[in-house]
Amino acid sequence: MTTKKTIGVGVISLGWMGRLHARSYKAVSEHFPELGVQVKLVAAADPVEEAQRAAVEDLGFERAYGDYRELLADPDVDVVSICSPNFLHEEIALAAVEAGKPFWIEKPMGVSAQQAKAVAQAAAKANLPTAVGFNYRHTPAIEYMRHLVRSGELGKITNARVWFIADYNSSPMGPLTWRASREKAGAGVVPDLMSHGADLAQYIIGRISSVSALTDTFIKERPIPTKMGFGHSGFEIGDQTSPVENEDYVALLARFDNGVIATMESSRVSVGPRAEYVVEVYGTKGSARWNFERLNELEVCLGVDNGATHGYTRAMAGPQWDNWSRFQPAIGTSMGFDDMKCVEAAQFLKSILTGEQHAPSAADAWCAAEVDEAIVASAADGQWHDVSVVEGKTTFDS
């Protein structure tokens, strides 16, 4: 019997995403057995007592803390997941670096590019493996689209369209959460959804070099919650309202280092689309289109004139697409969102085991934050803004 290396895990903040991290760690041994790793859920940290109870009784953590500092001081915790709200990311990540703990953090990595830079530079200086929650990268259809682009099968890439349109906040009666606070979230839909779109565009095409953007806030006030919820649901509201401090819509033009141009759009208040996260890439020899609402499909057109039936072929995810066969036995059986997070967990653990960066890195998160910063600046003054080049190893170019 092969002896597996045991890695002790701590998860900070046990909301929906923290619980998903816990499940993802546990799934790695089954779906990525070649890593030879056994994850032990050592501790969770959350100030809410019910979350502490759930950590031990429902999720199988050995213990739970009310303060994340106690978790970072736990000698049995080898690595940590940081799943707290945006405004706590920099503080907790820097504390994890100080404790010498590799970390997997959800994006954005702070409420500004400056905070993301501080975290990325600290992790690089400490030579710590990192991972960032750009989970849409790990969809097999996206991996195959990237292959089509990077291998030249679509020819010279000319332009792209990216939109991340959702309706989770489309009701004016939706509660005023921390996501609407400039202090706690930074910008609004830009780091919330557009950062995912920008990361996917860079992962598939290359680095975004400059942007011209506009933003707006369509729902300007929201009711103050009288009872906090879980994720985007479970809130109760009262009669009092307060202003929304950041944008809920953004549209932009983007230029890439390699000359590609793109139109990009994101909203969290559009009525109708539930999670219409779309990437379209066009080249001189073909094009490809993907929609998260049908994440196991890819529309591909190869060639400029294929006769009477010229157009898109609808391809279903299958064994030829990266990582798909780890999760499903036959074409037509679908992968889901949680599976993408398992891939991310495996990449994080592989980075720790090998000392090489396999997961989306803190430098990737800093790069996305610089795109966000340029978007917000452009929307403020109506001018084109260059995206600052970051230091360190970004994985979208590897």
177 shares its domain with 299 = yes
Q: Does 269 score more than 90 pLDDT?
A: yes
CB-neighbour burial class of residue 252 (10 A; exposed 0-12, middle 13-18, buried 19+): buried
Which two tokens mark 352?
A: 């720790």
How high is the pLDDT of residue 239? 84
392, part of any domain? no
Do 376 and 123 contact (CB within 8 A), yes or no? no
398, part of any domain? no
Q: What is the mean pLDDT of residues 284-308?
A: 95
Compute and round to an integer the Cα radius of gyration of the chain.
21
- Cβ contacts of 380-385, under 8 Å, gap ≥ 24: 382/214, 383/212, 384/210, 384/211, 384/212, 385/210, 385/211, 385/212
3-state secondary structure of 64: strand
How high is the pLDDT of residue 233? 60
How high is the pLDDT of residue 315? 94
Identify the sign of the CA torsion 245, 250, 253, 257: positive
Q: What percent of the chain is predicted at pLDDT more than 90?
A: 88
How high is the pLDDT of residue 2? 64
How high is the pLDDT of residue 184? 92
174 shares its domain with 126 = no
236, part of any domain? yes
323 shares its domain with 352 = yes
pTM: 0.94
Domain CATH for 285: 3.30.360.10
Instruction: List, in order, residues 6 or more apart from 33 with CB less than 8 Å away.
Output: none
Which one of 83, 110, 135 terminates a domain? 135
101 shares its domain with 213 = no
How high is the pLDDT of residue 228? 62
Total residues found in the chain within this entry: 398
The count of structural domains within the chain is: 2
219 shares its domain with 113 = no
How high is the pLDDT of residue 396? 83
396, part of any domain? no
3-state secondary structure of 114: helix
Q: Alpha-carbon distance 230 to 121, whole Å?
A: 32
- Mean model confidence pLDDT for the chain: 94
Q: What is the mean pLDDT of residues 17-40?
A: 97
Residue from 241, 242, 266, 238 nearest 252 by CA = 266
Which two tokens mark 125?
A: 């200086």
How high is the pLDDT of residue 16? 93
145 shares its domain with 120 = no
Q: What is the mean pLDDT of residues 235-260?
A: 93
109 shares its domain with 170 = no
Residue 195 phi, psi (nearest 5)? -60, -35
109 shares its domain with 195 = no
Q: How many CA atoms lie within 13 A of 184 on its CB side?
A: 10
How high is the pLDDT of residue 332? 85
DSSP 152: T
Q: What is the pLDDT of residues 333-385, one digit of tens each?
A: 899 999 999 999 999 999 999 999 999 999 999 999 999 999 999 999 999 99
Q: What is the pLDDT of residues 166-195, one digit of tens each?
A: 999 999 999 999 899 999 999 999 999 999
Q: What percent of the chain is predicted at pLDDT more than 70?
A: 97
Q: Alpha-carbon distance 187 to 115, whole Å?
A: 13
155 shares its domain with 303 = yes
How high is the pLDDT of residue 229? 61
How high is the pLDDT of residue 168? 92
Domain CATH for 60: 3.40.50.720
Burial 202-234 (b: 16+ CB within 10 A, else e): bbbbbbbbbbbbebebebeebbebeeeeeeeee
User: Which parts of the chain fold into alpha helices (H)?
Assistant: 16-31, 49-57, 68-72, 89-98, 113-125, 140-150, 182-185, 189, 195-204, 337-354, 362-381
How high is the pLDDT of residue 350? 97
49 — pLDDT class (breaks 50, 70, 90)? very high
How high is the pLDDT of residue 1? 54
Which one of 114, 135, 156 terminates a domain? 135
**Given 3-state DSSP classes, what are the helix, strand and coil percentages for the chain, each rounded to the nearest 5?**
35, 25, 35
Residue 106 belongs to what domain range?
Answer: 5-135
Which one of 99, 117, 135 terminates a domain? 135
Q: What is the mean pLDDT of residues 386-395?
A: 91
Strand order in the sheet with 37-45: 63-65, 37-45, 5-12, 79-82, 103-105, 130-132
73 shares its domain with 199 = no
Q: What is the pLDDT of residues 52-92, one digit of tens each?
A: 999 999 999 999 999 999 999 999 999 999 999 999 999 99
Q: What is the pLDDT of residues 110-123, one digit of tens each?
A: 999 999 999 999 99
Q: Does 230 score more than 90 pLDDT?
A: no
How high is the pLDDT of residue 369? 97
Q: Does 3 score more than 90 pLDDT?
A: no
157 shares its domain with 79 = no
176 or 397: which leads in pLDDT = 176
Q: What is the pLDDT of residues 203-212, one digit of tens each?
A: 999 999 999 9
